[in-house]
A and B are shown apart, each in its own frame.
Chain A
Amino acid sequence: MNEFVETLLDLHWHEPKSSYDVVIVGGGGHGLATAYYLATRHGITNVAVVEANYIGSGNSGRNTTIIRANYGIPESIRFYQHSMDLYKTLEDDTGCWIMHNTKGLIWLAHTESAMRSERARCQLNTAMGTETIMVDPAEIKQLCPQIDLTGSGRYPVLGASHHVGASTARHDRVVWAYAQGAMRLGVHVLQNTPVTGLLMDGDRVTGVKTATGNISAGVVMSAVGGDVTQFAAHAGVRLPIRTHPLQAFVTNGYAQGFGPIISDTELLSYVSQTARGQMLIGAEYDRQQSFSRQSSFDFLQSCATKVSYLLPFLKNLRIMRQWTGRCDVSSDFSPVMGFTPAPGFVITTGWGTWGFKAIPAGGEAMAELIATDTTPEIIEPFSLNRFATDHSMADQGSTGTR
């Protein structure tokens, strides 16, 4: 066997019931984490997580697994730092090996204006308790000996912000760890159960329609990714969300030899080595909006080019697989969590390119919101009504997108 075969987790499946206190639509990280925290923190276990396919089949199984908190606005830094803290203890909390590995994230700057942005990032991160420090080219070379500091003559490295606590974890295992924890306490996880609509009583959401029957619920939470605008429309809820494909690729596996996560504020690409030794490479989302998961060669070509400027050794590595996920991007590039105008219908969305890192904190906060019927302070800035009240949380510069 290979050393990465899963040998610890145990998933207990249940027969579906026709009614639950809480029905969570979407069996990805956010949905399952919410169920886990409902069960573990609030003793609410009469919960179903309804998944159209298999658990983790959406963006939870398609992301590049980077966990970071080096955002540009205090509300986001605090939220993502809390998520990082929860990730650090997740293996102890769940008893699962999620391959959590703190490696540090280096955001390279090639211009004075990019240096200025990174210095600002360090200032605000440090003030909010997140360790992000400026590093000079010599320090960058020490952290990543493979880097070409001239950027192949085109993108000279002036410096970088080094987000020391950034980490990665194996995406599937995070999903399974939360699933196992929730299922052990009696949460039902229903796979291959596409939700086709919502049960409504006036403007109140009272359950979900599925291909195999209706399920009534005290509260319905949408943890849907990709099709969220269509799904929320069932409840008459309009979301300021657009969906873009996001692509990535991996090489074959190599012995461990690439320590940090290298990212680039101008080229908008990032490179890390997975626990299995593959080089995992991604870039910003496709400019064109689409619900498609088809991969493109244009992406492969442009992304391969970008990372080759800075890490020429990559040119000699073979690409094994590319894939595509879907990003729900809000108009201010921050997530949307909390109540909606439809009673009984709460939502966690707008996860763009930054959803994986938010799974623990997002799940914890949404569980508290459902359990207490009150918005937790940490996610209050991310409420849907911020768009109506002109309180948008603009932070595009921290999302790795353009």
Chain B
Amino acid sequence: MTDISDGQPQVEVRSSATPAGRIVIDNQPIEFFAGDTVAIAAIRAGQHPATGGTLCLAGDCGNCCAIVDSTPWVRTCQTKAKPGLAVLRQPAVGAPALNLTPPKSAVSSPIAAVIDVRHINADVIVVGGGASGTAAATQASADGHTVTILDANEGNEVVGIYAGPTVIVRTPEGMRHFHAHEVIVATGAADLQPACEGNLSKGIYTAGAAATLAETHIELDNALTVTSQPVRIVADDNGWVSGVVTADADGNDVLSDCNSLIVDLGHMGRDLLSRMTDERAVTIVGPAAEHYPLPPCPTSGIVCSCSKVTVEDLDGVWLRGFNELELVKRAALFGTGTCQGGVCMPYLRSFVADRAGSVPEPFTARPISRQLTIGEASAGAYADNFRMSPLHDEHLKLGAQMDRFGGWWRPWNYGDVLGEYWAVREAVSLGDVSTLGKMVVSGPDVVEVLERLYPNNVHDIKVGRSRYVLLLNERGHLLDDGMICRESETRFVLTFTSGGASFAEMWVRDWVETWGLDCHILDRTTSLAAINVTGPLAGELLRRVGVAEPPKFLQHRHETVAGVPCHIMRLSFTGEASFELHHPVHRSVELWQTLMAEGRALGIKPHGLQALFGMRLEKGHVIVGMDTELDSSPRRIGMEWAVKMGKPYFVGLEALKRVEPLPDHRRLFGFTMASPAPVEGAPIYHDGTIVGHVSSSFDSPLLGKAVMLGWIKREPFPDTVTIDGRTATVSAPPFYDAEGRRARA
């Protein structure tokens, strides 16, 4: 039986009050009073805040969503009106346009800098300031807890409860991240919405919405209240309710005229938020925890107003075998709009219960509960800075094009790659190698540590000498490479690649701890800068700045250079005589400027990574990460000479022993061919089949041909291959100065 009673019109008592301002809806100004939400201001002005649909005015459904201040899908019932606020209605059919214009504050500004974010440590958080929330808060307070109540009606919308429990809250002042000991969810109950034909009309309110309007002294025009599901709702040409059809005691349809319809159909637990979390320190109290009876199975109309799903749609998918709630949901896209099942779930469950004969569980609730923008979500995110060498500004002054490489800003070139190349090959050049990993290791067990860490021999490195080494992981795959310099019987300096340094530091420390050996580690990566002085005139430049007798190849020593204390390491990556000057970062600019000034007469030019990569390729030097892959073993990159399998132990030895007898089916080779050099990454063909790819390539100005490193991953390994449609010859590097005379000169 349907119970229809007359609505109780409220007397407008605010007539003497003055409006607080105007908002603009669809370019039409309307007045609002202090405390009004946008939705209430619209209703006060005789309008629907959107294009239709039952209003709950409680933030549960999505029927009042509009474009507020150019953000679509904002629940206007949760948005306070403020002077000048611009509101646009979204289209009744279809979706709002994807905004192509970024918000003014967003262009090239620090991410979401305008949104205030605070992290707050809290004891007890109570979500919901209604009867159950207040009771829970009072109790918790009596128990000695400090309680924070978050109420959506006061603008504190809880987005989600995440691990911790951490409660993310969207407030008018910004984002608040509460890190709580305990969370009590007291979100109360939501009103059931009507599910019948005509329920997208304007002028329909839930009982709760009607109560809210009454509190704000808004009088509904010719209102009628129904307490059971209408047969249908009738609307006029403008989409406003003009009547409601209900069934009388005999089941006959009865039409009652009205201009406003209040539907009082009962409640459902407002449990979206609590169902989204599985945190142990969350309790649910009051109506939110209650199991309300499901409404009768809907028979007509839109049952999911966000996705516009009708009962016919549900029947359609049900009859075609989508026979459980989750499948029905997904096939009909039911409950996948703004309300996320918040108000439509009882109807879906009731439908499935009717068809299947048993009541299904609600579908999974996933965060988030109350919407926030991507800007609001990102607010407060921290982004690490990219690292800069102490010589960064010097590079910029010299016109360097900077590039990020291995976590650092580095000079890619100084505008003249060829000039930089020839400066190294024929005169002298500086390279900023401050980014290299640098570590001092010392102590009684240091030799034992290094023998275990590195596959090469360490004990026979003489004091004052250095050696190139590979660093392997437990699988025997290449992690990094670098130099070992022996400073005394019990003290060494290690270098690592720029990108690998921070991992290497962790790696070395962890192994030392694991082995329990007596070895001290000092990472000097960022406290020391380093300049590589390289080229046939590098020794001459050093002499000019006070190094009477520069070290010989693979020697190293501590000496003052141009008044700056340096650790000079003689080695060679470019193929020419090279002296790495490691020195305190605060003396770096001075040293660089002195070397540049003194080198002017020798034709000095600094070189960037681009020239360096080419020069090292002429020498066949591998760059870890560019020429190597995740599973590159020393054998595969042709560096078995750097591995002493006869050692009792080193990290990776077991793995290398396991694969030693297995056939090797992939290997890094050197190749040469006529210029131009193919693009790095070019496939390598043999007999018409792809057998690998080029990992590095360079048009050697000196050799007048292309030199390459590349992988062949198919046996038998061929002598000639086809790259870029041309013949290339497998050729063991180095391609330039194979005897290493220039590096030793």
A residues near B (Cβ < 8 Å) are 1-2, 4-7, 9-13, 53-57, 61, 74, 110-113, 116-117, 119-124, 127-128, 145-146, 148, 150, 152-154, 172, 176, 191, 251-258, 273, 276-277, 279, 281, 294-297, 300-302, 304-305, 307-309, 312-323, 332-333, 389-392, 394, 396
Q: Are B630 and A394 in contact (CB under 8 A)?
A: yes
- Say if the beta carbon of B233 comes within 8 Å of chain A: no
Interface residues of B in 57-87 (CB under 8 A from A): 70-74
Q: Are A318 and B371 in contact (CB under 8 A)?
A: yes
Extra 13 A-B pairs, beta carbons < 8 Å, given A253-B95, A254-B99, A307-B374: A2-B307, A9-B320, A11-B322, A145-B100, A254-B72, A273-B98, A277-B95, A300-B377, A313-B106, A316-B99, A318-B371, A320-B371, A332-B630
Measured CB to CB, the closest approach of chain B to A59, in angstroms, equals 14
Q: Are B609 and A302 in contact (CB under 8 A)?
A: no
Measured CB to CB, the closest approach of chain A to B593, in angstroms, equals 27
- Say if the beta carbon of B338 comes within 8 Å of chain A: yes
Q: Tell me whether A5 and B109 are in contact in the complex, defined as CB-CB below 8 angstroms, given that A321-B367, A390-B662, A394-B630 are known contacts.
A: no
- Neighbouring A residues of B316 by C-beta, 8 Å: 5, 7
When the two chains form the complex, which single residue of B111, B379, B405, B659 contacts A113, counting CB atoms closer than 8 Å? B405
Measured CB to CB, the closest approach of chain B to A279, in angstroms, equals 8
Q: Tell me whether A2 and B308 are in contact in the complex, defined as CB-CB below 8 angstroms, given that A296-B163, A297-B160, A316-B103 are known contacts.
A: yes
Report how many residues on chain B are interfacial, defined by Cβ distance under 8 Å: 87
- Neighbouring A residues of B683 by C-beta, 8 Å: 74, 123-124, 127
Q: Are B111 and A305 in contact (CB under 8 A)?
A: yes
- Say if the beta carbon of B166 comes within 8 Å of chain A: yes
- Neighbouring B residues of A145 by C-beta, 8 Å: 100
Q: Give a binary string over B96-118; 1 marks a CB under 8 Å from any A CB, 0 the rest.
A: 11111111001111111000000
CA distance A320 to B272 in the complex (A): 13
- Neighbouring A residues of B380 by C-beta, 8 Å: 301
When the two chains form the complex, which single residue of A152, A255, A297, A332 contacts B109, counting CB atoms closer than 8 Å? A152
- Neighbouring A residues of B308 by C-beta, 8 Å: 1-2
CA distance A78 to B278 in the complex (A): 43
When the two chains form the complex, which single residue of B73, B405, B680 contacts A119, counting CB atoms closer than 8 Å? B680
Q: Across the two chains, which residue of chain A brings its CB closest to B404?
A: A111
- Say if the beta carbon of B665 comes within 8 Å of chain A: yes
Q: Give a binary string over B646-682; 1 marks a CB under 8 Å from any A CB, 0 the rest.
A: 0000000000000100100100000000000001111
Q: Which of A5, A258, A396 has the most CB of B within 10 A?
A: A5
Q: Across the two chains, which residue of chain A brings its CB closest to B665?
A: A391
Q: Are B690 and A74 in contact (CB under 8 A)?
A: yes
Report 7 cross-chain contacts, Cβ distance below 8 Å, ordered by A residue: A9-B322, A110-B404, A252-B72, A295-B367, A296-B162, A301-B377, A316-B374
Q: Are B321 and A12 in contact (CB under 8 A)?
A: yes
- Neighbouring B residues of A301 by C-beta, 8 Å: 377-381
Q: Across the two chains, which residue of chain B brings its CB closest to A154?
A: B383
Interface residues of B in 323-337 (CB under 8 A from A): 323-324, 326-327, 330-333, 336-337
Measured CB to CB, the closest approach of chain A to B334, in angstroms, equals 9
Q: Across the two chains, which residue of chain B brings its CB closest to A121?
A: B681
Q: Are A257 and B375 in contact (CB under 8 A)?
A: no
Q: Across the two chains, which residue of chain B brings its CB closest to A392?
A: B631
Measured CB to CB, the closest approach of chain B to A352, in angstroms, equals 14
CA distance A332 to B475 in the complex (A): 12
Measured CB to CB, the closest approach of chain B to A243, in angstroms, equals 18
- Say if the beta carbon of B246 comes within 8 Å of chain A: no
Q: Are A305 and B378 in contact (CB under 8 A)?
A: yes
When the two chains form the complex, which single residue of A53, A61, A253 contacts B330, counting CB atoms closer than 8 Å? A61
Interface residues of B in 700-735 (CB under 8 A from A): none
- Say if the beta carbon of B309 comes within 8 Å of chain A: yes
Q: Are A123 and B375 in contact (CB under 8 A)?
A: no
Measured CB to CB, the closest approach of chain B to A155, in angstroms, equals 9
Q: Across the two chains, which residue of chain A brings its CB closest to B94?
A: A255
Interface residues of B in 507-554 (CB under 8 A from A): none
Q: Across the two chains, which residue of chain B brings its CB closest to A296?
A: B162
Instruction: Please give me the 7 A-B residue pairs with the lowest Cβ-Cβ distance, nearest first.
Output: A120-B681, A11-B321, A315-B375, A257-B98, A394-B630, A304-B378, A304-B377
- Neighbouring A residues of B680 by C-beta, 8 Å: 116, 119-120
- Neighbouring A residues of B162 by C-beta, 8 Å: 294-297
Q: Are B681 and A317 in contact (CB under 8 A)?
A: no
Measured CB to CB, the closest approach of chain B to A357, in angstroms, equals 20
Q: Across the two chains, which residue of chain B brings its CB closest to A276?
A: B333
Q: Across the two chains, which residue of chain B brings its CB closest to A277?
A: B95
- Neighbouring B residues of A312 by C-beta, 8 Å: 102-103, 106-108
- Say if the beta carbon of B214 comes within 8 Å of chain A: no
Q: Across the two chains, which residue of chain B brings its CB closest to A150?
A: B108
Q: Are A5 and B332 in contact (CB under 8 A)?
A: yes
When the two chains form the complex, which single residue of A6, A116, A152, A191 contacts B317, counting CB atoms closer than 8 Å? A6
Q: Are B631 and A332 in contact (CB under 8 A)?
A: yes
Interface residues of B in 400-449 (CB under 8 A from A): 403-405, 412
- Neighbouring A residues of B101 by C-beta, 8 Å: 313
Q: Are A319 and B373 in contact (CB under 8 A)?
A: yes
Q: Tell me whether A112 and B323 are in contact in the complex, defined as CB-CB below 8 angstroms, given that A121-B681, A124-B693, A317-B373 are known contacts.
A: no
Q: Are A390 and B659 in contact (CB under 8 A)?
A: yes
- Neighbouring A residues of B333 by C-beta, 8 Å: 2, 4-5, 276
Q: Are A318 and B330 in contact (CB under 8 A)?
A: no
- Say if the beta carbon of B225 comes within 8 Å of chain A: no
Q: Across the two chains, which residue of chain A brings its CB closest to B724?
A: A123
CA distance A319 to B175 in the complex (A): 14
Measured CB to CB, the closest approach of chain A to B526, in angstroms, equals 21
Q: Are A255 and B327 in contact (CB under 8 A)?
A: no
Measured CB to CB, the closest approach of chain A to B343, in angstroms, equals 15
CA distance A347 to B98 in the complex (A): 43
Q: Are B373 and A316 in contact (CB under 8 A)?
A: yes
- Say if the beta carbon of B181 comes within 8 Å of chain A: no
Q: Are A255 and B374 in contact (CB under 8 A)?
A: no
Q: Which of B372, B610, B693 has the most CB of A within 10 A?
A: B693
Measured CB to CB, the closest approach of chain B to A314, in angstroms, equals 5
CA distance A126 to B326 in the complex (A): 42
Q: Are A297 and B99 in contact (CB under 8 A)?
A: no
- Neighbouring A residues of B166 by C-beta, 8 Å: 297
- Say if the beta carbon of B463 comes within 8 Å of chain A: no
CA distance A252 to B480 in the complex (A): 46
- Say if the beta carbon of B168 comes within 8 Å of chain A: yes
- Neighbouring B residues of A61 by C-beta, 8 Å: 330
Q: Are B340 and A320 in contact (CB under 8 A)?
A: yes
When the two chains form the complex, which single residue of B97, B108, B336, B371 contacts A152, counting CB atoms closer than 8 Å? B108
Q: Which of B111, B323, B374, B665 has the most CB of A within 10 A?
A: B374
CA distance A150 to B110 in the complex (A): 12
- Neighbouring B residues of A55 by C-beta, 8 Å: 327
- Neighbouring A residues of B626 by C-beta, 8 Å: 113, 116
CA distance A365 to B48 in the complex (A): 57
Measured CB to CB, the closest approach of chain A to B53, in angstroms, equals 15
- Neighbouring B residues of A74 by C-beta, 8 Å: 683, 690
Measured CB to CB, the closest approach of chain A to B278, in angstroms, equals 6
Q: Are B682 and A322 in contact (CB under 8 A)?
A: no
Q: Which of A172, A252, A255 has the most CB of B within 10 A?
A: A252
- Neighbouring B residues of A122 by C-beta, 8 Å: 681
- Neighbouring B residues of A2 by C-beta, 8 Å: 307-309, 313, 333
Q: Are A254 and B111 in contact (CB under 8 A)?
A: no
- Say if the beta carbon of B31 comes within 8 Å of chain A: no
- Neighbouring B residues of A154 by C-beta, 8 Å: 383
Q: Are A5 and B373 in contact (CB under 8 A)?
A: no
CA distance A152 to B337 in the complex (A): 31
When the two chains form the complex, which single residue of A5, A128, A257, A321 contacts B313, counting CB atoms closer than 8 Å? A5
- Neighbouring B residues of A127 by C-beta, 8 Å: 683, 690
- Say if the beta carbon of B393 comes within 8 Å of chain A: no
Q: Tell me whether A315 and B94 are in contact in the complex, defined as CB-CB below 8 angstroms, given that A112-B609, A150-B108 are known contacts.
A: no
- Neighbouring A residues of B321 by C-beta, 8 Å: 9-13
CA distance A139 to B378 in the complex (A): 28
- Say if the beta carbon of B312 comes within 8 Å of chain A: yes
- Neighbouring A residues of B70 by C-beta, 8 Å: 316
Q: Are B100 and A320 in contact (CB under 8 A)?
A: no
CA distance A11 to B94 in the complex (A): 29
